[in-house]
Amino acid sequence: MSEHDPKSQSSQTIDVLLEEDRTFEPSAQFKSQANIADPGIYEKARKDPENFWASFAEELHWYRKWDKVLEWNPPYAKWFVGGKINACYNCVDRHVKNGLRNKAALIWQGEPGEKRTLTYWDLYREVNKFANALKGLGVVKGDRVAIYLPMIPELVISLLACARIGAVHSVVFAGFSPEALADRIKDAKAKVLITADGGYRRGSIIPLKHDADYALMDTPSIEHVVIVKRGEFMLRVKEGRDHWYHRLMQEAANYCEPEPMDAEDMLYILYTSGTTGKPKGIIHTTGGYLVGTYATSKWVFDLKPQDVFWCTADIGWVTGHSYLVYGPLANGATQVMYEGAPDWPDRDRFWSIIEEYGVTVFYTAPTAIRAFMRWGDKEPAKHDLSSLRLLGTVGEPINPEAWMWYHRNIGREKCPIVDTWWQTETGSILITPLPGITKTKPGSATVPFPGIEAEIFTDKGERVEVGGGYLALTRPWPAMLRGIYGDPERYKAQYWTKWKGDLYFTGDGAKRDTEGYFWILGRVDDVINIAGHRVSTMEVESAFVDHPDVVETAVVGIADELKGQAIAAFVTLREGVELDHGLENRLKDHVVRKIGALARPKQILFTAELPKTRSGKIMRRLLRDIASGQVPGDTSTLADPSVVEQLKRRYEED
Ligand code: WTA
């Protein structure tokens, strides 16, 4: 942190944003039907946040009501203390019992073209059976289950089946490499792995079980592997350890009693990149998380019984956990789930899905919107998108141009846009418009959700009323993380020690305007946000130096038109290694093998030396400046200032 000055990096963004003065009021029509349209709710929630959250909790099913809404012993919060609840029961059984038994829960679209619709009853049946199958493999409350699946209904079923029996799920994005999977399995000491023979992405097959077999060579905690059969893919089955999902389901009993969980029992672990090398296992518990995702789904996405909600995120990321699984299902929503890529077989795939299923509320990422912009207005124009009534974005700052494009071409100038800011750690959306209340401004996530308090502070902890600084959260909220799995010290150090006074440090820079609107400026730590996915520079650096030809490397984020940010690497080779033509690609492939395709470096600059301080610290700020073509600022603390000049020259030649 210390070597980085967010103001210098963000000043340009601030200038650009300052010019943004377009505003959009919710229409009278939208207001009149919105789940929440009373602006007084902000003040009401501010005065009594505990009661505010409790009123949502009361809409859920509890085996035992809580004794106390909040117990706050910073940095540890307990919500709905003493309450007993089951997340799966609330997402499935409750609706089956309340008249939604035959309502579509999931409308699944496979990339090659298959369709499957699961009603709440179907989901109930499948989840019960799979919960029994897991129990049959010896999974008990508190055990960790790793999940490495493509975007197929069995992924949702797996999460809910774990939640039903109190097992802790740890989903690993199917685009991650076997090594990344192995690391996560080992950290969580998972007992069972659920995977598939394969999945489809952009017309090709991802051989998940084949990849998982590599991970499984190094994961002694795994006792059983469940394989979902997605296609006709080749794979090896290890007798005794590996089981076909469909066979287990044939033998499983129809009903499995849900486990009444303590509100603070762990629901899941989800790994995310932080500032040091190892990914952090973010812990979410049951009661507060469900209340937070339920409440925000209801108010931010304004979900109604007749809506068809489509969140395009993969369940491998937190957005899929909160806004494809727990939040919308707790609301009894009907959802679209799509397996594949937005440009397969054609660049209008998303729009054709919206038209076909009559999607009403659509939630996607700015990086996708920028790709759509590039593909041209004619793609969405081919389709009837008139079913849409509300749009959302998440994952990274949206540039005002992309916002306006989304507004015109997808929302046809009639849909409000909710730009939702949150994190894996926050569990639920925290800064966002409420579509029936909030005036929006392109590029601004607007204001904190009722009951949430955000502030901007300087490095020294001075509060910034209007202007830029670091984004902080000043009050606990129900879906907040409860820690980092197996590493309480890191939890404190990472989030709670930047300032005095029990303030949560988000790692984001932000600016507040004169109307109190927040403008998120992106990460201020060593995390690169690639297409809305967090990758830590340290992790990529470890992957580089793992290659025998590399001695040292420094990785920085550079602006990328499509993905928001991309990886630029400065690499020092081992003495005697020849810099041949293929080396750059071999190194890129190596990083992909270690982490996954999303971490593929965009550019590599080979250099004999990296700029370092006299104490030997690599000066990333300078590298960032060089990589983004800016003139490096202060070099007075450098051990050898000539290194920067040499680097700059090499960079310009490249
Ligand atoms: C960024 C994704 C600007 C931010 C839910 C945050 C955003 C990180 C927005 C979390 C937004 C997310 N505007 N930036 N609306 N939403 N971010 O953990 O830098 O994958 O800290 O969670 O994404 O990424 P994560």
Place of tokens 């055990």: 143
pLDDT for residue 403 is more than 90: yes
The pairs formed by 578-584 with CB atoms below 8 angstroms and a separation of 24 or more are 579/606, 583/549
* Of 70-74, 216-220, 631-635, the least confident: 631-635
* 422 Cβ closer than 6 Å to some ligand 1 atom: yes
pLDDT band at 277 (very low <50, low <70, confident <90, very high): low
pLDDT tens sequence across 149-158: 999 999 999 9
Q: What pLDDT score was predicted for residue 631?
A: 64
Task: Tell me whether residue 204 is annotated as binding.
Answer: yes
Tell which one of 470, 534, 565 to mutate to probe ligand 1, the residue whose CB is within 8 A of the most ligand atoms: 534
pLDDT tens sequence across 488-508: 999 999 999 999 999 999 999
pLDDT band at 13 (very low <50, low <70, confident <90, very high): very low
Q: What pLDDT score was predicted for residue 132?
A: 98
State mean pLDDT over 567-596.
93
pLDDT band at 637 (very low <50, low <70, confident <90, very high): low
* 522 Cβ closer than 6 Å to some ligand 1 atom: yes
pLDDT for residue 597 is more than 90: yes
Q: CA 112, 371, 382: angle at the middle one, nearest 5?
A: 65
* Of 251-265, 531-545, 587-601, 609-623, the least confident: 609-623
pLDDT for residue 126 is more than 50: yes
188 DSSP β-pair partners: none
Please tell me the distance between residue 506's alpha carbon and the centre of ligand 1 in angstroms. 10
pLDDT tens sequence across 448-472: 999 999 999 999 999 999 999 999 9
Arithmetic mean of pLDDT over the chain:
93
- 605 sits in which H/E element: strand 603-606
In this structure, are strands 168-171 and 266-272 parallel, antiparallel, or unpaired?
A: parallel
pLDDT for residue 588 is more than 70: yes
Phi and psi angles of residue 337, each rounded to the nearest 5 degrees, phi first: -130, 125
* Of 219-233, 403-417, 532-546, the least confident: 532-546
Q: What pLDDT score was predicted for residue 18?
A: 53
Please tell me the distance between residue 394's alpha carbon and the centre of ligand 1 in angstroms. 6
User: Of all protein residues, whose CA lies closest to atom 24 belonging to ligand 1?
Assistant: 423
What percent of the chain shows pLDDT beyond 70? 95
pLDDT tens sequence across 169-200: 999 999 999 999 999 999 999 999 999 999 99
Please tell me the distance between residue 422's alpha carbon and the centre of ligand 1 in angstroms. 5
Residue length, the chain? Answer: 654
Please tell me the distance between residue 469's alpha carbon and the centre of ligand 1 in angstroms. 16
Please tell me the distance between residue 397's alpha carbon and the centre of ligand 1 in angstroms. 8
* 26 Cβ closer than 6 Å to some ligand 1 atom: no
User: Of all protein residues, whose CA lies closest to atom 10 belonging to ligand 1?
Assistant: 423
Q: What pLDDT score was predicted for residue 644?
A: 77
Which residues touch 428 (CB under 8 Å, ≥6 apart)? 289, 292, 293, 295, 296, 322, 327, 422, 477, 478, 479
Q: What is the DSSP secondary-structure string of 146-159?
A: EEE--SSHHHHHHH
Contact 512, 466 (CB under 8 A): yes
* Of 175-184, 582-591, 609-618, the least confident: 609-618
Domains in the chain with CATH codes: 527-653 (3.30.300.30)
